[in-house]
Structure 1
Amino acid sequence: MQDFETKLDTRMMHPKDQIILVINRVYYRGLTTTTGGNISMIDGNGDIWVTPAGVDKGSLTREDIMCVKKDGTITGPHKPSSEYPFHRAIYKQRPDIKAVIHAHPPALVSFSIVRTIPDTNVIPQARNVCGPIGYAPYALPGSDALGDSIANVFREGYNAVIMENHGTVVGGSDLKDAYQRFETLEFCGRTIINAKTIGKTQYLDDEEIESFEAQIPVLQPEQEEVVFPSDEREIREEITRIVRRACQQGMMISSYGTVSCRWRDNDFLITPTNVHRWDITREDIVQIRGGRREPGKIPSRSVWLHQEIYKRHPHVNSIILTQSPYLMAFGVTGEKFDVRTIPESWIFLQDVPIVPFGSHFKGKNIIPELISKDTPAVIIENDSVLVTGDQLLQTFDRLEVAEFSAKSLTMATPIGELQPIGDNEVEDLREKFLK
């Protein structure tokens, strides 16, 4: 298994290394099978680098990656992917696309076999990341007809396409862009499917999404002098590890997720905006000191919310704001996330309220007022879950417990009526574990 936690820097990495890194992310997140799916890139010479046909995706090395030269010459130890024809056709139709990912992620395959597309208005950033979703009619896998079918849809301006009874294919300006689109689209699909299991999916209208996009923060003034003592650097490292871990565990995706940690008094460190979460490094983390930001960096657009929580709640030392597929099923349906069904989960989370979309916008005080020792987490409709804690690892643990609980509740729904414990049992838990 390759190190798929390495930062994807398209400016410096050879196409072979970029492809290996991303195929590892795709495979080890369970988004394709051993020999399923393929990835390609086209370089400035017009040469196409592509995964090989029939080789284990879990053990690919850079030496396995094939190159089809602009003149048609093939170099490498294997045959290029059998789906290479549609990669070539996409690049021919869309010179602006430089990378293509095709795979069979379970949720998007589900949409393909019922012949529909996921509505990306289920979460706010997905429409902008994915764009409109195209649909390609069925053709024989590996055939020129399939290549023509997909390329024709891309020619219409789509960057993400559902392939009828097959899977999905996405393109991007580089491999990082393509992967973010692929991961976000699959997340939308999983969220919608999970939501339909427990209730009726609620979608945002275009005006609500535009209001979300308008929440670009009014930037704090920059610090005149920045200090990086050892305790500050240690927090940067911890935040970076937790973000990578959340991505690896499927509780954060490239396009969304914020982590912050109190440093001293009300000063804190927070993840930036517009940096892919998989690729965050210590240097990307933004220091907020005395209400001023680290020069040259843009913090998460939710920075004001983190700042308000730290000011009001001295017991809170870390915050995670993220999306995970089972918690978001409750977030996009409004169904009650009742952890009283699982006593151990209630000890960690207690009752988790759901607040309306927009409660996290700048100037709203709903969430800072709700957070307390008795309410360490809230779900924001069609947006995210916010979890607080003393230490960052404790906060991440709460997030994991919340997502696992949401998964259990979702899976229980088709097999019977959920049975929570009563108020007396809850008080017994409170008395034993929380006092």
Structure 2
Amino acid sequence: MVKKVNLIHPRNQITTIIDRIYKRGMTTTSGGNISIIDNNGDIWVTPSAIDKGSLRASDIICVKKNGTIIGKHKPSSEFPFHKAIYEARPDIKSVIHAHPPALVSFSIVRQIPNTNIISQAKHICGPIGYAKYRLPGSNDLGTVIADEFNKGYKAVIMENHGVVLGGSDLTDAYERFEALEFCASTILYGTQIGTPKYLTDKQINEFEAQATGVLPEMDSTEYQSDEVEKRREICKIVQRACQQGLMIGSYGTVSMRWKNNNFLITPTAVNRWNLDLDDIVQIKDGKREAKKTPSRATWIHQEIYNRNPNVNSIIMTQSPYLMAFGVTGKYLNVRTIPESWIFLQDINVVKYGNHFRKNNNSEMVENCSTALIIENDSVIITGDKLLQTFDYLEVAEFSAKSIVLGNSLGNMVPINDDQVEDLRKKFLS
């Protein structure tokens, strides 16, 4: 996928996204389907009973506006509800249906995930609809789903079935799908260790009202070879984080110190899966690269670099197991295995809202810890080399996952003080 999605053939768009969904473990070999309606009213859709792990562009079916089917396979058995959605909502140009585990958990207990669990999800997902169970592949199923979309929803939980989402294009639909599954996962993991807490609409509105691009623009920008190489590093790490489920397309900020306190940072309003070198924003002498809007968290990164000369890279992201601690306020004790404590030591939690109030940020930017969780928002990881910082993120997420999963077995028994002191002497002295 690239940003100019309209220049990519629907067949290629669909195969890219279904491959991404399958590799992320959000659907099975036989499950799920994707469609795009083009400007002619023709619908491009995944085929029925073809391996989702090896789909090629030539496998995608085109159902012409007059009903003629073009392709070597049958269209998805769920094609009727795709067609019904497009007829009900001309503004929707792409539909995703899948059976991601967390959302199916909500589907089978007949609940709707509360997207106020994290800051940006309500804005991305919108209100969530609920469609009663009907026979898969039936026109009746198409009717009940279309009825929900007619109410203005772009995301609908399907009772005892899964989820269906629409978007202005396939990137928009996938962002909604990914964000909703992330919310569901975070809520589920949070309930394993405590009680999830939700943001109020007022708090979310304050988050959305944050100023963007407040730094003045540079008159001109120099692109030196070492600067270009750092852009490449950022893009590679962002892609890797997305592939491993440590970042979602609609949220995540990565930066690298370039020279002195000047740095490079990811932009706002650009899908992280599609990030390219040209998207990265240079921040120099308190000014931003012209005609680009850096992340809304730019000021946090700037203050961390200004006050912490040993920090040369920062990752600010949402990963599901770390955010389970972020939404419950439970203490993440990383005395799980030696590596976790050596790399991370202590992970503190900052109250939601402090990350965009510049006058109340000492906890975040002074004596900056390796890892810090912001309630209902994100985790900040700092380090020297960017790959090292990414490693710290992986270790933190693995540690959080081990605690969440282990909680069903019994109480965690951490490494004791004497063992920690031995680690301190050998590895940190």
Is TM more than 0.5 here? yes
Partner of 1:390 in structure 2?
Answer: 384
Separation (CA, whole Å) in 2 of partners of 1:142 and 1:95: 22
Q: Percent identity?
A: 63
Among candidates 356, 361, 381, match of residue 365 of structure 1: 361
Contact 1:270 1:285 in 2 (8 A): yes
| Counterpart check, 1:311 vs 2:306 | yes
Secondary structure in structure 2 of the residue aligned to 1:124: coil
- Offset at 1:8? 5.2
- Offset at 1:259? 0.0
Partner of 2:427 in structure 1?
Answer: 433
Secondary structure in structure 1 of the residue aligned to 2:7: coil
- Offset at 1:365? 1.7
Partner of 2:208 in structure 1?
Answer: 213
Q: Within 5 Å, give how 1:16-35 maps onto structure 2.
A: 16-35=11-30
- Offset at 1:67? 0.4
Among candidates 53, 62, 66, match of residue 61 of structure 2: 66
- Offset at 1:409? 0.5
Query: What letter is aligned with 1:299?
Result: P
Separation (CA, whole Å) in 2 of partners of 1:296 and 1:80: 43
- Offset at 1:430? 1.2
Partner of 1:136 in structure 2?
Answer: 131
Among candidates 403, 411, 416, match of residue 417 of structure 1: 411
Contact 1:371 1:377 in 2 (8 A): no
Partner of 1:402 in structure 2?
Answer: 396
Separation (CA, whole Å) in 2 of partners of 1:341 and 1:399: 15
Among candidates 271, 282, 292, match of residue 277 of structure 2: 282
Separation (CA, whole Å) in 1 of partners of 2:314 and 2:124: 25
Separation (CA, whole Å) in 2 of partners of 1:159 and 1:300: 26
Partner of 1:101 in structure 2?
Answer: 96
Contact 1:122 1:332 in 2 (8 A): yes
Separation (CA, whole Å) in 1 of partners of 2:43 and 2:296: 37
Deviation track 1:247-299 (CA, whole Å, cap 9, x = no partner) reads 00000001100000000000000000000010100000000011110000000
Partner of 1:55 in structure 2?
Answer: 50
Contact 1:215 1:362 in 2 (8 A): no
Secondary structure in structure 1 of the residue aligned to 2:36: strand
Separation (CA, whole Å) in 1 of partners of 2:240 and 2:410: 33
Coordinate RMSD, CA, aligned: 0.9
Secondary structure in structure 2 of the residue aligned to 1:332: helix
Secondary structure in structure 1 of the residue aligned to 2:49: coil
Secondary structure in structure 2 of the residue aligned to 1:102: strand
Separation (CA, whole Å) in 1 of partners of 2:181 and 2:364: 31
Query: TM-score with structure 2 length normalisation?
Result: 0.98
Query: What letter is aligned with 1:336?
Result: Y
Partner of 2:259 in structure 1?
Answer: 264
Secondary structure in structure 2 of the residue aligned to 1:168: strand
- Offset at 1:237? 0.2
Q: Within 5 Å, give how 1:85-124 maps onto structure 2.
A: 85-124=80-119
Deviation track 1:180-212 (CA, whole Å, cap 9, x = no partner) reads 000000000000000000100000000111111
Query: TM-score with structure 1 length normalisation?
Result: 0.97
Secondary structure in structure 1 of the residue aligned to 2:210: coil
Secondary structure in structure 2 of the residue aligned to 1:360: helix
Deviation track 1:114-146 (CA, whole Å, cap 9, x = no partner) reads 000100000010000000000000000000000
Query: What letter is aligned with 1:248?
Result: Q
Separation (CA, whole Å) in 2 of partners of 1:341 and 1:394: 20
Partner of 2:347 in structure 1?
Answer: 352
Closer/same/farther in 2, CA of residues 371 and 385 from structure 1, 3 Å limit: farther
Separation (CA, whole Å) in 1 of partners of 2:350 and 2:364: 12
Which is worse superposed, 207-216 or 408-417? 207-216
Secondary structure in structure 1 of the residue aligned to 2:314: strand
Partner of 1:44 in structure 2?
Answer: 39
| Counterpart check, 1:193 vs 2:188 | yes
Secondary structure in structure 1 of the residue aligned to 2:379: strand
Contact 2:84 2:146 in 1 (8 A): yes
- Offset at 1:366? 3.0
Q: Within 5 Å, give how 1:138-217 maps onto structure 2.
A: 138-217=133-212
Contact 1:239 1:260 in 2 (8 A): yes
Among candidates 239, 243, 246, match of residue 248 of structure 1: 243
- Offset at 1:369? 4.1
Deviation track 1:74-132 (CA, whole Å, cap 9, x = no partner) reads 00000000000000000000000000000000000000000001000000100000000
Query: What letter is aligned with 2:256?
Result: C
Aligned residues: 428
Closer/same/farther in 2, CA of residues 146 and 371 from structure 1, 3 Å limit: farther
Query: What letter is aligned with 1:175?
Result: L
Contact 1:360 1:367 in 2 (8 A): no
| Counterpart check, 1:84 vs 2:79 | yes
Deviation track 1:310-349 (CA, whole Å, cap 9, x = no partner) reads 0000000000000000000000000010001222101011
